[in-house]
Structures are given as structure tokens and as C-alpha cells.
Amino acid sequence: MNEVVISVKNLTKTYKIYDKPIDRLKEAISPIKRSYSKEFNALNDVSFDVCKGDILGILGKNGSGKSTLLKIITGVLNATAGDIIKKGKISSILELGAGFNMEYTGIENIFLNGTILGYSDVEIKNKVNDIVNFAAIGDFINQPVKTYSSGMFARLAFSVAINVDPDILIVDEALAVGDLDFQLKCMDKFNELRDLGKTILYVSHDINSIKRYCNRCIWLRDGRLESVGGTVTVCDKYLDYLKRKEIEENSNGYVISSDIGEINNIELLNSKYEKIQSINFGEEINIKLNFSIYKEIKNIVIGIAIMSIDNKYICGLNTLLDNFDVEYKIGMNSIFLHYKNVNLLGGSYYFDAAIYERNAQVPIEYRGKMKEFFVNTPYVGEGIFVLEHNWSMGREV
């Protein structure tokens, strides 16, 4: 069991919200202590642990409470309730240069920040050269920071945060500071800290970068901890949630029906024809579609499509395209569709199913979003699916 370096227990942060600015004053001077505010929980009973060496990704939409959580962890904000236990020096790139004094020179600010972090003068002197070289802002290092451009300011602040040898580093989307050279240096430093086994808390809206760097994730939703666990699982759940939010409610279950036939249900089966609830990446599966035909009709076509939950058309197959004759009888029928390798990337998808007349033009019955399924995928690629592939250097395969 790894050593826990941050333990967050039942953390709640409550703000008072006022409809009008004047209400704040009215409340402050009300002789009968009348309330003019509503309470709002930016964080609501959040608990999780971070272990030494974890790179914890923090996911959540705008306003979900990520910065509030990080500010409480770094100590610039107090919680309303709950506890945090922290072990080690925390350096944060959360509010770049928040601890800087604008009248001081760059060098003086390096000492100021180092002292705030608890380093002695001698320890800071040993780090100054690294910080100055990393920031690479030339002679400006001896000028007051109020004369800096915003880019220079960010470079120095970033350089201090990342070079002070923290035990725990908090990075908030800020790795994209400065020009390409500086970004590459930052990424190298980030990798170096990771390889040294430092603990990193990383907030980003770029889910692929979270998947690339983090081993664990938390997802905050409206101030509550919605999910905590392995990166791929939490990211895929979060992506599903984002996609679902995007699609309109009324796009659920598009149906066309007639009295000629009916689609009864779809079953998801593994290669041994046993029922399954979810699919593992690359798995061989079978789909059993049960349908009924009530009236004689010349030839029918069966179609099954896979749609992503944000309604992208992933793969549509039908018996006409595959030259497969559907030999139906009046009454209940079953047809099987065999997929060899389901190389879909992780997340939720739907099956649409349809019965068409012989030209696959007119639907006898169409059932949209008929069955939802989930694909479990390790982090093997980005996008929607992974084509079978291999790499080679300097020669054709």
C-alpha cells in the first residue's frame, strides 16, 4: 500500500450568493440578522486520497469546483467543513505568480516565494540559477516584475513553481505558457518530476492529456465527487456524460413503425452466445435481433447500426449490402450478426435496428437507440475506433 500524502475528508465549501450587491450590505447591517442570501456549495462532502507518486487528473466542467478544491489543498482558501491532511511541500501553478510582489525584482521574488515555501536562504541560493536559466528572461530578472510582459511574468512564476523541488506539484492547465521552446522545457520538467516519483495534481479540460499523464482521476460534478479511480475508467465515464449532455433530450429513441412487422429486442452475446452487459476492446461478439413479421411481404432487409451517444454514425450494416437473404416466417424470428473484432474505443454506444422492404429504402420498422452498450478499453488510441495497424522504421512492411 502506497503512502497517502493528501487525504481529503468530507470537504465542503459553502458560499453565500446574493441576487444584488446591495443585499450583502443589507444583510451585514440588519438588526434582526435577516438573511438576504442563498447558500451555494462549490464543494459538497468530497473525500478522496492521493498516494505518493500518483499523478491525479482532476476532471469537471466549468464551475464544478476544481479550482476551489485546489485552492483549499494549497491553503489559499479555507474549507467550510471537512479536513485535509497533507504531507510534504506543495508547489502550485494554480495562480501563476500569486505570491509575487510587483515592486520586487525577479530575483527578489524567487527568494520571497522560496521563503513562503519554507526553504532557507542557502537552499534558495542553490536553486536560483536553475530557476533563472529555466525562465530565460535575460536581464529582466534584475528588474521589478511590474515591468515584465505577461509572458515573462508567467515564465518566471512557472519556473519558480516547477524548480523548487516540491513533493507535491499542482498544475492547472498552465503547461501551455509561453512559446514552443518553453512549453517543451515545461513538459521535460513535468516528465522529470513524474519520473522522480513526485505527486502531481493536474487539472485540464484536455482529456487526452489527462489520459496520457495521469494514473488516477477524480471527476467533480456540481461540487460533488462523481467518480474516482483509474484514469481510463473515469475519463470514459466523464466523456460519456459530456456527450450525453450535448444531445437533445428528444433525440432519444427515434421510432418508425407499421403493422407489417416489429422489432422485439436486441441481445448482446459473447462469442459463446452467452449474454453480456459490456464489451471488452477487440472482443468478438454476436448480436441477436428478435423481430416479428405479421403480414406477407416480398423479401425484407434487416439493418443494424452502431451510433455513438452523441449521435455519430459509426457503422451501419444491412443484409442487402452483405447479400444475405433473410428467410423469415410469419411470427417471431431471430437473426444473428457476428462482429469479429469490436475495436471501438471506450465509452457508451447504441444499436439502432431496422426492418426494411427489399430495397432498404422504406423502413417497415426503425428503432433508434434500441440498446445501449459500453466498451471497456485500455488507453490504446484516441478518436472513435482503432484500426488494426503496426509501425515500422525506415522500411516498408
Ligand X SMILES: Nc1ncnc2c1ncn2[C@@H]1O[C@H](COP(=O)(O)OP(=O)(O)OP(=O)(O)O)[C@@H](O)[C@H]1O
- For binding to ligand X (CB under 6 A), which residues are involved? 15, 42, 60, 62-68
Considering the complex, state which of residue 6 and residue 46 has its C-beta at the smaller distance from ligand X. Answer: 46
Considering the complex, state which of residue 73 and residue 141 has its C-beta at the smaller distance from ligand X. Answer: 73
Considering the complex, state which of residue 141 and residue 169 has its C-beta at the smaller distance from ligand X. Answer: 169
Considering the complex, state which of residue 223 and residue 368 has its C-beta at the smaller distance from ligand X. Answer: 223
User: Cell for 33?
Assistant: 440578522
Pairwise CA distance, residues 129 & 160, whole Å: 11
3-state SS, one letter per residue, for 177-223: CCCHHHHHHHHHHHHHHHHCCCEEEEECCCHHHHHHHCCEEEEEECC
> How far is residue 41 from each of residues 8, 79, 251, 359, measured CA to CA in Å?
16, 11, 32, 58
Burial class (CB in 10 A: 0-12, 13-18, 19+), 97: buried
Do residues 275 and 288 touch, judged by C-beta distance below 8 A?
A: no
H-helix or E-strand spanning residue 71:
helix 66-74
Considering the complex, state which of residue 57 and residue 65 has its C-beta at the smaller distance from ligand X. Answer: 65
Considering the complex, state which of residue 62 and residue 277 has its C-beta at the smaller distance from ligand X. Answer: 62
Chain centre to alpha carbon of residue 18: 32
Pairwise CA distance, residues 11 & 223, whole Å: 10
**Smallest distance from the beta carbon of 191 to ligand X, in angstroms?**
25
Pairwise CA distance, residues 33 & 14, whole Å: 19
Considering the complex, state which of residue 41 and residue 231 has its C-beta at the smaller distance from ligand X. Answer: 41
**Smallest distance from the beta carbon of 311 to ligand X, in angstroms?**
26
**Smallest distance from the beta carbon of 156 to ligand X, in angstroms?**
23
Considering the complex, state which of residue 62 and residue 250 has its C-beta at the smaller distance from ligand X. Answer: 62
Cα dihedral sign, 31-36-38-42: negative
How many residues can be counted in the chain?
Answer: 397
Give the helix ranges, DSSP H, for 214-326: 231-246
**Smallest distance from the beta carbon of 154 to ligand X, in angstroms?**
17
**Smallest distance from the beta carbon of 60 to ligand X, in angstroms?**
5
**Smallest distance from the beta carbon of 157 to ligand X, in angstroms?**
18
Pairwise CA distance, residues 69 & 51, whole Å: 17
* Residue indicated by cell numbers 503547461: 175
**Smallest distance from the beta carbon of 71 to ligand X, in angstroms?**
8
What is the side-by-side order of every strand in the sheet holding 216-221?
90-92, 168-172, 199-203, 55-59, 216-221, 224-230
**Smallest distance from the beta carbon of 345 to ligand X, in angstroms?**
25
Chain centre to alpha carbon of residue 283: 25
User: Cell for 258?
Assistant: 407499421
Considering the complex, state which of residue 69 and residue 137 has its C-beta at the smaller distance from ligand X. Answer: 69
* Residue indicated by cell numbers 492521493: 50
**Smallest distance from the beta carbon of 222 to ligand X, in angstroms?**
8
Considering the complex, state which of residue 77 and residue 107 has its C-beta at the smaller distance from ligand X. Answer: 77
**Smallest distance from the beta carbon of 18 to ligand X, in angstroms?**
9
